[in-house]
Structure 1
């Protein structure tokens, strides 16, 4: 019964705005629109950019749907207006794009940052676990943004935060471990930035002789890629691996991460031998076989590795590089010891678990 009511409620919430959008699109196909395009274009613009978002907001006002979902609807309205209205009748649409849309975007960004700061403050007050900006940002955005928009927004904010805002040195605690100092990854990524920079200048000069607009578009994309790589590099310095609250938090900057319950660990091996990567065995590093490893973690059951833009991959064995590999294994063993003691009180523990 409740499920049926929820379906009906969602049909009303999403059906009414979509119906209005459909009607607006239909109007532009009628002969009456061709007879009077100027005034009808103005009406359609105001309906799609003001009426539809307002009606949607009133419909979701007393529901659990985030109020910020009005923004994607607003952007959809802008896109539809741009597609269905004649270019000469987009005066009010262009005004909206120039003056209103940037304010809306900045407001959403400010709202997200405000909530992240508030969440970080709560973490500091509790002091129950390590404060991690990226994790806090994700949990905050899931509360205030549509799920589809969370990962792209979080990734872009995190790139600029780690790349250009967070310059302070991270003081490692006893339960935290770095993975970038001796692996050579940072050097490789910096080399890639320099290669991209050199090639961008060369290609820009050659492409400008053919099409200056295309040259600048390619240059912008290259600069943006360089900024992202720089943000990735900096995030590796700021997001160490940690062991806390009976969990192992494995992070590779903002590129890859996974959380493992310590009780799910079957064995931790110190090994630099080549290992075949497949659907069961994966590397924590997004560079795969280009980066060396010195630790292999084998689990009792499958877990999930989360990559850039929320891409998820299953694994049972995880290969990674840890700067202080022996200390890392020792701490995992120490944290597992109480669990092993509790298990042996009831039954015999397997040999593989004892060796961890």
Structure 2
């Protein structure tokens, strides 16, 4: 069983026991002696004993296993407060009040960790290191290589470009040659237009929802709109800062706030100009803001399910020539080495 599937087993176990014991406690049959055998320790054994054991068996990293087991046990206590009948609760009331303290402690540790990561990123950017490495390295040191690290990297990248974009210089990114894409079909100008549109629409929508629907709904929508505004501001600033780069024998595709895509040059079967509309497909990856992507890269070996990559760059001819030249130099060097 792969590690990604094993990491989901504890949560699936919690779902299964919650469904089963909810049915058990709420039924009125011989199964629970017509309600007289609704003992809370039945669910407690599964939720507070078996669940952490499964976490440590399925998660290799002990710190991650401990954190996951605590979070899932707090969730189990929350679920138990609803599925266990009130007359059957003896110690569950104490567990219900204690879970808030545990969650507060976890939240405190997470805030400290995030602040530590932020200070590490700020120091690295100040030393003019590669901005992507500055953001990803402390996060990976803390969370590893999993989906949570990728999500936090994206979110950190968003806040970095939203508030500290002036400290990020394109020339600090790794690479021998850099290529831009923010001017193609007015990509950056279009993003700025969306920023103004969202900023103009937000107060009007807030007032409308406040009086037509409810103040609570208006506040929720306004918070989500504010988050999307920060996202578009970060994207607007990132497109002119994060270049597509040739780094040794690899092509690094950085596009706005997207997670970088690395393509080995020896995995490129063909690269040429594109003049046709590209439909969405699981076999295609598109990096383009407006208009039609002007570069197509065909891969020798698919990356996952992706067989072709389409890009929108400012100068397609220059980009294609540079990639072909770098690939040719790499192949020649490889042939000389193999002789």
Fold agreement, TM-score > 0.5: yes
**TM-score, normalization: structure 2?**
0.68
210, 215, 219: which is aligned to 1:208?
210
Which residue does 1:67 correspond to in 2?
Answer: 63
Q: Are residues 1:322 and 2:316 paired?
A: no
Q: CA deviation at 1:236?
A: 2.9
Q: Are residues 1:111 and 2:113 paired?
A: yes
Q: Are residues 1:156 and 2:158 paired?
A: no
Q: CA deviation at 1:168?
A: 0.5
Q: CA deviation at 1:281?
A: 4.8
Q: 2:76 & 2:51 partners in 1: Cα distance?
A: 17
Which residue does 1:341 correspond to in 2?
Answer: 332
Q: Are residues 1:297 and 2:300 paired?
A: no
Map 1:22-101; keep pairs closer than 5 Å.
56=53, 59=56, 64-85=60-81, 93=96, 96-97=99-100, 100-101=102-103
Q: 2:153 & 2:225 partners in 1: Cα distance?
A: 21
Q: CA deviation at 1:115?
A: 6.6
**TM-score, normalization: structure 1?**
0.65
SS in 2 for 1:184: helix
Q: Are residues 1:233 and 2:236 paired?
A: yes
Deviations 1:208-251 (A, max 9, x none): 22322112111112112222222333333443211113110112
251, 262, 267: which is aligned to 2:265?
262
Residues 197 and 180 of structure 1: CA distance in aligned 2, closer, same or farther (over 3 Å): same
Q: 1:33 & 1:216 partners in 2: Cα distance?
A: 46
SS in 2 for 1:192: helix
Q: CA deviation at 1:261?
A: 1.0
Q: 2:72 & 2:117 partners in 1: Cα distance?
A: 25
Which residue does 1:244 correspond to in 2?
Answer: 247
Instruction: Please tell me whether the aligned partners of residues 134 and 254 of structure 1 are also in contact (alpha carbons under 8 angstroms).
Output: no
Q: CA RMSD in A?
A: 4.9
214, 220, 242: which is aligned to 1:217?
220
Q: 1:229 & 1:33 partners in 2: Cα distance?
A: 56
SS in 2 for 1:298: strand
SS in 2 for 1:179: coil
Residues 217 and 332 of structure 1: CA distance in aligned 2, closer, same or farther (over 3 Å): same
Q: 2:192 & 2:310 partners in 1: Cα distance?
A: 23
Residues 193 and 81 of structure 1: CA distance in aligned 2, closer, same or farther (over 3 Å): farther
Q: 2:286 & 2:249 partners in 1: Cα distance?
A: 22
Gaps in structure 1 of 5+ consecutive residues: 305-312, 347-356
SS in 2 for 1:297: strand
Which residue does 1:309 correspond to in 2?
Answer: none
Which residue does 1:308 correspond to in 2?
Answer: none
